[in-house]
Structure 1
């Protein structure tokens, strides 16, 4: 495992489970946080009339997500700080599996090269906070299936999952920071 992997923490899970809100709280606390690819890609593709969207061209969308995640990783490598990622490279494989698309060899290679801390935080489906919006068109059932696909993917890639508690954002952030600070 590369040295950087120990200080790189992924927060993953299905849509609408509080990941981005948690990362915003961590960032407000002064932590280095790398944003989610999906929402930004959707916004950019809609703005330019592009087709690399999950409802138009899932393969192209996955390729843009992969590029984004690699760039986020490289950005974090340029620092010596602990970094929190709103999703990671294995999320791309989880997305492809969820949508019934094959996982190309280059995605598998990227998962081997771009490693994170062995402990991955996963946000469970949470119906009380789940909402849809312009970029999040999935329903709650798809959010649950996404969670399951990501849990299976990260486990298969050798990561241990730490389920985030369904508590306030402040309590979730404290849980993450306590867990990261705890000796292995």
Structure 2
């Protein structure tokens, strides 16, 4: 069973502050993909920025969110995400 919590809300609403506090208290946290992409693309002089190439930015954000989920799905501890994708669990019948 996954113990995932997605924090959502407006910019400046306190999501990052709450995530920081949860991290300090020992919880697993995953920062928002968009923020990480902007930091990385700015550092390397990349083009996958929403004000330069929105399509590339969105593709990277989706890929990063899927990777975040894949990298945490086997964790038994609570994991808090700063935004994220909602994914539907599929059950296969035998």
Question: Which band: TM-score by shorter chain?
Answer: 0.7 to 0.9
Deviations 1:132-166 (A, max 9, x none): xxxxxxxxxxxxxxxxxxxxxxxxxxxxxxxxxxx
SS of structure 2 residue aligned to 1:85: strand
Tell me what 2:84 maps to. Answer: 88
Q: TM-score, normalised by structure 2?
A: 0.85
Q: Quick one: which of 103, 112, 115 aligns to 2:88?
A: 112
Q: Describe how 1:145-184 pairs up with structure 2 within 5 A.
A: none
Q: Which residue of 1 aligns with 2:57?
A: 61
TM-aligned CA deviation for residue 67 of structure 1: 1.1
Look up the SS of the partner of 2:70 in the other structure. Answer: helix
Q: 1:112 offset after TM fit, Å?
A: 3.1
Helix, strand or coil at the partner of 1:68 = helix
TM-score (norm 1): 0.46
RMSD over aligned Cα, in angstroms? 1.7
1:92-151 deviation line (CA, Å, top 9, x unaligned): xxxxxxxxxxxxxxxxxxx3359xxxxxxxxxxxxxxxxxxxxxxxxxxxxxxxxxxxxx
Q: Secondary structure at the match of 2:46?
A: coil
Q: Secondary structure of the residue that 1:33 maps to in structure 2?
A: strand
Equivalent residue for 2:37? 41
Q: Quick one: distance in 2 between partners of 1:35 and 1:78?
A: 18
Higher RCO, 1 or 2 (CA under 8 Å, sep at least 6)? Answer: 2
SS at match of 1:84: strand
Counterpart of 1:164 in structure 2 is: none
The structure carrying a bigger helix percent of its residues is: 1
Number of corresponding residues: 90
Gaps of 5+ in 2: none
